[in-house]
Structure 1
Amino acid sequence: MMKTETASAGLDLPPDARVGIIAGGGSLPVEVAAGSAGQGYAPFIILMEGEADRLPELCLYEHETLALEAIGSLVPLLKRHRVTHLVLAGEIKRRPRLTRLRPCLSLLAVIPVVVMALARGDDGLLKVVARALEARGIKVVGAHEIVPTLAAAEGVLTKAAPRDSDRRDIEAGLAAAKAIGALDIGQAAIAVGGRVIALEGIEGTAGLLDRAKLLRGHGRIAGKTRGVLVKCAKPGQELRADLPSIGPQTVESAHAAGLAGIAVEAGRSLILEGPTTLARANELGLFIVGLAAAEPAYG
C-alpha cells in the first residue's frame, strides 16, 4: 500500500538558517513568525502592500513592505537579508497587474514562466514561483514545516462528534471538493442531507458559507438540518503554499449557516489559532474532524 504524503512533518533548520515570510492577510503569517522566533530563528517579514493586515504583530520583527507590482525585486531583497528559507503565508486577494510590473533584470528572467503559470491557474503559479526561487538558492517551505502544530490532526478534535448522517455528508462533500480541486477551482464543498448544495468558487470559503446561509434562510434546503463543510487539498496540491485552512471565523460562519460541523484533511489542512478555533467549536456544539488523506500529494 502506497504511503500517503502529508504536510505535517516538521523541518530541521540548520543553525545559520534565516527564515523569511511573505506575509499576506490573516493570522497565518503571525503564527509562522512566532513559531520561527520561538525556535530561535528571528524571521524577516516581507509585508505585501495592501494585503498584510496584522501589522502591529508582524512589525515586531525586522520587515520591509513590498508592492505586488515590485515582485521582481523579491529575490534581491531576500538575498540582502540573507534569507535561506521562505514561507508564503496568508491570503493575497489580487494578482499583480502585468502592465504595472516594475522592470528589473531579475523580473525579465521570470516573466515568461509567470505568464504561463497565470494561464494555468493558482496552483500552477505557486509551483512556478517556488521553483523559480529555489533555482536562485532560496528554499521554499510550508508554514506547517515551521509550525507543525498548525496541521490538522486525524480524528475527532472536538467534544461533539459526527453522527452517521454527518458521515454521509462528509463523503459527499469530500468527493465534490476533490472534483473541483482537480479543476483548480476551489478546495471546499458543503453537503446537507447527503447531497452537495454548494461549491467553493473564487469568493473563497467565507463566500461559500454565506451562500449556504442564504440558501437556508430562503428555504431552498427546507426540511434539511445539520450539514457539513468539507475542505481538502487539491489533487497534486503544492503543499508548501495555499493549503486549505479554517479558523475561528470559519466556525462562526458554519454555525450561522446551520451546519453541524467541519471536516478537513488531516496533515494537509491548517487549523489557524487552533486553541481558539476548537474552543469556539465546543462552545457552539460543532464538530471538527480530521480525515485521513485520500491520495498522495506532489509538491
Structure 2
Amino acid sequence: MNSAREQQPGRLAIIAGGGKLPLYVAEAARRAGEDPLIIAMEGETALDWSGWDHVWLGLGNVAGFDQIAHSNNIDRVVMCGAIKRRPALSELRLNLATLLKVPEGIRKLVSGGDNALLTMVANLIERRGRRVIGAHEIAPDLLAETGPIGQHRPDKEAIADIGVAIDAALTIGRLDIGQAAVTVGGRVVALEGPEGTDEVLLRVADLKSAGRVSSRRRGVLVKLCKPGQDERMDLPSIGVSTLENAHKAGLAGVAIEAGRSLVLDRQAVCDFADRHGMFVYGIDPQQTEGRAP
C-alpha cells in the first residue's frame, strides 16, 4: 500500500536568487492555487519572504536541497533570480549519490558558463526524481510579445543598431558569456558578462560622458537567449531598472526576444518608456536583422 506521502500531490519549490523575478513567480503560483516552498539562496536574494513558507539555503548545498525537497514532497522546481557569484569548493555540500552521478559537474559548478552551470544543476535535480520547469511556465504573462510595449517604435537608425546588436549578442551567447549587447551608431560599444545588464548600461553612460562613445547618437540595448540555451532557467529579463539605466546611457530603447524574454513590472516599464520617449520592442532575431521590426 502506498504511504500517505506518496498519495499526496507533489509540491512546487522556487529556488530564489536575486531580483524581483522569484516574487513574481511565487505570486503567480499562489494565484494558480499552489502553495510554493521558497528556497531562498543565502547572500543572493534580498526579498522579504516572511509571508511565505520558506527556508534559507547556502549556495552549493546540494545535499541540503535534497533533504528539504524530500521532507516537503517537492516534485517540481523553478530556478529563478540572479546568482551573482559561484560557490567556492569549500562551500560544496554533496552527498555520495551526487558525487557518483555527476563527477564532471563539479568543474562546471565553480567555473563553467552560466548556461552550462544552470543546466548541470537542473540535471542534478532531475536525476533525483524531480522536474525542473521554467519561470514562464508558472508566470506566462511575463513573456514578451512581438511588437511594441508602449507608444514608441524604433526609428531607422535604431533598427540598424538592433541588427548589429543581434549579431553581437548571439556571438557572446554562443560562448556562454552573456545575453546582451549595446550598439551606438552601428558600433558595438558594450557586451554583457558576469556583471549583469544594469552594470553594462552604467558603463555605456560613463563611456558617453567621457567622450569615448558618441553622445550625438542614441543607441540600443538588445537582450536575447543564448543559442542552445536551456530555457528552463535564466531567460533574458528586463524591468524598470533596465529602462532607467538605458535612459541614463542615452539609449533610444531596448529590444528583447519575443516569446523567450521576461518583462517585469510591465506597466511601470511601459509608463517609463512612454514618459521618456523610449521604445521597448519584442523581436524575432531570425527575422529582424537588417529589416524593420
Shared fold by TM > 0.5? yes
**Conserved in 2, the CA contact under 8 Å of 1:229 and 1:259?**
yes
Q: 1:221: which partner in 2? A: 213
Report % sequence identity. 44
Q: Which residue of 1 aligns with 2:33?
A: 40
The answer for the alignment partner of 1:233 in structure 2 is: 225
Which letter maps to 2:129? G
CA RMSD between the two structures:
1.7
Tell me, yes or no, if the aligned pair for 1:72 and 1:106 is still in contact at 8 Å: no
- Give TM-score scaled by structure 1 length: 0.88
Structure 2 length as normaliser, TM-score? 0.90
Alignment of 1:53-68 (within 5 A): 53-55=46-48, 58-68=49-59
Matched, 1:251 2:243: yes
The match for 1:112 is 103
Deviation at 1:223, TM superposition (A): 5.3
What does residue 290 of structure 2 align with?
Answer: none
Match in the other structure for 1:159: 151
RCO higher in 1 or 2 (8 Å CA, sep ≥ 6)? Answer: 1
Q: 1:18 aligns with which of 11, 23, 30?
A: 11
Bigger mean CA offset, 120-129 vs 183-192: 120-129
What amino acid sits opposite 1:27 in the alignment? K
Pick from 116, 125, 128: which aligns with 1:124?
116
Distance 1:69 1:267 in 2: 31
* 1:8 alignment partner in structure 2: none
Q: Hey, what's the Cα distance between the residues in 2 that align with 1:110 and 1:63?
A: 28
Once residues 246 and 274 of structure 1 are traced to their aligned partners in structure 2, the CA distance between those partners, rounded to angstroms, is 9
**Letter of the 1:181 counterpart:** G
What CA distance in whole angstroms lies between the structure 1 residues aligned with 2:72 and 2:234?
Answer: 25
2:188 is paired with a residue whose SS is strand
- Is the Cα–Cα contact under 8 Å of residues 192 and 224 in structure 1 kept in the other structure? no
Gaps of at least 5 residues in structure 1 are 1-14
SS in 2 for 1:68: coil
Q: Can you give the 5+ residue segments of structure 2 that lack an aligned partner in the other structure? A: 1-7, 288-293
- Is the contact between residue 230 and residue 263 of structure 1 (CA under 8 Å) also seen in structure 2? yes
1:196 partnered with 2:188: yes
Q: Aligned partners of 2:113, 2:260: CA distance in 1, in Å? A: 20
State the distance in 1 between where 2:134 and 2:223 align. 18
Residue 140 in 1 paired to residue 132 in 2? yes
Aligned-pair distance for 1:86? 0.4
Q: CA deviation at 1:99?
A: 2.2
Question: Cα 1:53–1:143, aligned 2, differ >3 Å: closer, same or farther?
Answer: same
